[in-house]
Amino acid sequence: MSIEKISTHPFKDQKPGTSGLRKKVSHFKIEHYLENFVQSIFNSMDRVEGSQLALGGDGRYYNREAIHTIMRMASANGVARLVIGQGGILSTPAASHIIRKYKLDGGIILSASHNPGGPEEDFGIKFNTANGGPAPENVTERIYEHTLNISEYWIADAQLVDIDHQGNFDFEGLQVEIIDPVDDYAELMSQLFDFDLIHQLFNSASFTMRFDAMHAVTGPYATRILEDMLGAEPGTVINGTPLPDFGGGHPDPNLTYAKELVDIMYATQGPTFGAASDGDGDRNMILGKRFFVTPSDSLAIMAANAHHIPGYRQGISGVARSMPTSQAADRVAERLGVECYETPTGWKFFGNLLDARKVTLCGEESFGSGSDHIREKDGLWAVLFWLNILANKRRSVEDIVREHWSLFGRNYYTRYDYEGINSQAAEELMAGIEEQLDSLKGKTLGDFEVAYADDFSYEDPIDQSISEHQGLRIGFTDGSRIIYRLSGTGTSGATLRVYIERFEPDPDKHHLDTQKALGELISIAKVIADIQAKTGREEPTVIT
């Protein structure tokens, strides 16, 4: 084998976002682009020679080519061992578990999560550290610094390993282990949940389910666990074959992009339980018969019912939620006598809290929830959590949610996404809101009095690191909130997210339509930001 030292030049646009580096496939195909970022990951590691890493992705277009490039570079950089999912498939939660179970030094995950896939669509790469979680900001900043100063990378000129067959292979001194991508994850799930009880639920004539894998990575995991292990009827998992372009769909499990599942669940004779996951398997959507569960409510309900789940019967140490997520989980934590932490958006911010055992459950309003079993959000885990709750209570999803509201009150909540807007216009819009913050406190806007208006900053309670400019908040005296953020997960233009929340303690008012219940706050949010004038958009791209 010969090792080549390739001269290169820096690219100025390789700053990782909240979930790594995401660009169009065509961008990653630019000469040296992928190689520069991979070498920067290796250069940022405390010890690359002799290290052991996981490698895999969601199967999207360019996944295989990237894996082969990374294998050659890992060999040239002295990596001792790569653990790769068969066919290059490895869901993000499964990768986190494999890193932790086999005590690896980290992992490289190839995914753009819920973004579309295909030759003209998106690709992504991120580095997870030895705890199994996304690299924290100090690591991503180190990677970014290397990308700005890189002048060469190392790559092996060698025959490639066949990643489609399991086994152990010697790749010119690099030990490559091709594993079944599902086995270890399925074993972990069987330890956390009461599979016998869930199996009984699937045997009940009154219970039916559909799981939409959206032609993404979760298909093999859901088929193995739901149908093969738990006894769900064949066909419970739909769109279960991972495809490089996700079947032409947008693998984001929400009411807009998971329309096929939504139509099934809202049909007259629809199933009793529905769920979906996203491109890399870390997000989830939960549905009952003609009933949508917001991710914020889902986190709160899981926290309130954790004592029903074998893996959590010892109790939860605390809950964490991202700042834009509704405050429903806060009320559960208060009732349980545990802390509820409010963090910036981005799963990496939960890592320190989980490692310090400050929290057991955590979640984001963007359809992500998880626990201390790994260090990533986990879509199928959340589905199994709900199945275990349903198996215990033997009540409908809607009944469980309404019972929760009667005990804790209802947080009416919605998110408006304006996708692909002009980046400069988006920045100007945010600047315009920020200019108003100091003058808003104490003002009355419609029926609401402003209690505070600020730019959210976060001091990590474990390492005291500070993260600023994490979202503009307007809070009202009754607990209602309006929040504005620019998302870091897209690859084209900017995505403006507007979050609106209002707490309703009166059970007699829990039946209202969400958009009507939040109508006045939605109007206030649009006026403050002057959205239509500054973006040209009359309506959002997605409402959840």
Which residues carry out catalysis?
113
What confidence tier does 544 reach under pLDDT thresholds 50, 70, 90? confident
pLDDT of residue 347: 87
Query: How do strand 106-110 and strand 52-57 relate by DSSP bridges?
Result: parallel
Mean pLDDT over 174-186 rounds to 97
pLDDT of residue 171: 87
pTM beyond 0.95: no
What confidence tier does 1 reach under pLDDT thresholds 50, 70, 90? low
User: 273 pLDDT exceeds 80?
Assistant: yes
pLDDT of residue 17: 82
Of all residues in the chain, the percent with pLDDT exceeding 70 is 99
**All domains in the chain, ordered by first residue:** 2-181 (3.40.120.10), 185-408 (3.40.120.10), 410-543 (3.30.310.50)
User: 18 pLDDT exceeds 80?
Assistant: no
User: 490 pLDDT exceeds 80?
Assistant: no
pLDDT of residue 538: 86
User: 492 pLDDT exceeds 80?
Assistant: no
User: How many Å separate Cα 275 from the centre of its chain?
Assistant: 15
- Bridge partners for 286 per DSSP: 275, 293
Render pLDDT for 65-102 as a digit per residue (tens, 0 to 9): 999 999 999 999 999 999 999 999 999 999 999 999 99
- Which pair of structure tokens corresponds to residue 106? 């980290």
CA distance 413 to 27: 37
What confidence tier does 488 reach under pLDDT thresholds 50, 70, 90? low
* Closest of 374, 460, 24 to residue 184, by C-alpha: 374
Element (H, E) at 285: strand 284-288
CA distance 173 to 166: 18
What size, in residues, is the chain?
A: 544
